[in-house]
Amino acid sequence: MAMLDREQLPRHIAVIMDGNGRWAQHRSLPRVAGHQAGAESVRAIIEGCGDLGIEALTLYTFSSENWARPPREVAGLMHLIQERLSRELPELHRKEVRVRAIGRIEALPQSLQEVLEHARTLTEGNTGLRLNLAINYGGRAEIVDAAQALAAAAVAGHLQPTEISEEVFARHLYAPDTPDPDLLIRTAGELRVSNYLLWEIAYAEIVVVPTLWPDFRLAHLLHALVEYQRRQRKFGGVLEDL
């Protein structure tokens, strides 16, 4: 593997954590066992990003479409997110990780909402890795919510429609203080973005890896970062203009 240039790391990494179900199926285990195994990968990647000095990490934890899964699996996922976050929070706080949930959080179970809010308030002053947990998140829903907020501001007379620019629109997204992802990693070999950060990934480099999420560890992250550093980011221009 080529050497990683620590001076050319992405500021923000977004991850679609795919393959938990297939990991469990390959082992004749219930799907929830795959989600439980995937939680260990979450810990490894958070630690890796923190150690590398990555500014922000956003994890696709539960999509707005995931409610269509069997009720038992959904309930298991809600419990797992709540239990693991409660267990890991003291260590995350000690390592200066700032935790925030993005999505339509008000639709989640009340007990999970309380844990997420506690994590946010406890860590909001931390200065290390920004960890965004996308829960009940959908990219189209985020854009709709931003558009509704802007429309309400216009109706109230606080904003003229002609004042709505890309910069103004972006300030009404779920995490406006987080830079757009430079790198989007998707595991399990699937070649789609699955309604994830649709506005924010406009110029993200996408790296798809065949590894199922429960098997994803620091070595896989480093390989993805090396691949990212091989890319020439042009943002719609040509290299001699940059």
Q: What CATH number corresponds to the domain at position 221?
A: 3.40.1180.10
Residue 148 belongs to a domain:
no
Residue 220 belongs to a domain:
yes
What's this model's pTM, rounded to 2 decimal places? 0.95
Backbone torsion region of residue 189, taken as left when φ is above 0, otherwise alpha when ψ lies between -120 and 50, otherwise beta: left
Q: Is residue 118 predicted with pLDDT exceeding 70? A: yes
Q: Is residue 139 predicted with pLDDT exceeding 60? A: yes
Question: Residue 141: which of 99, 199, 71, 78 has the closest Cα?
Answer: 199
Residue 56 belongs to a domain:
yes
Residue 162 belongs to a domain:
no
Residue 205 belongs to a domain:
yes
pLDDT band at 1 (very low <50, low <70, confident <90, very high): low
Residue 212 belongs to a domain:
yes
Query: Is position 132 annotated as part of the catalytic site?
Result: no
pLDDT band at 69 (very low <50, low <70, confident <90, very high): very high
- Look at the chain and report how many structural domains it folds into: 1
Cα distance between residue 13 and residue 54, in whole Å: 8
Query: Is position 136 annotated as part of the catalytic site?
Result: no
pLDDT reported for residue 83: 98
Range list of β-strands (E), the chain:
12-16, 56-63, 98-102, 130-137, 183-186, 205-208
**CB-based contacts of 175, cutoff 8 Å, min separation 6:** 58, 100, 102, 132
Q: Which structural domain, as residue segments, surrounds residue 83?
A: 12-138+181-230
- Pick the catalytic residue: 20, 66, 145, 215? 66
Residue 145 belongs to a domain:
no
What average pLDDT score do residues 212-227 get? Answer: 98
Q: Are 19 and 214 in contact (CB under 8 A)?
A: yes
**CB-based contacts of 78, cutoff 8 Å, min separation 6:** 62, 108, 109, 112
- Pick the catalytic residue: 5, 18, 180, 241? 18
Residue 239 belongs to a domain:
no
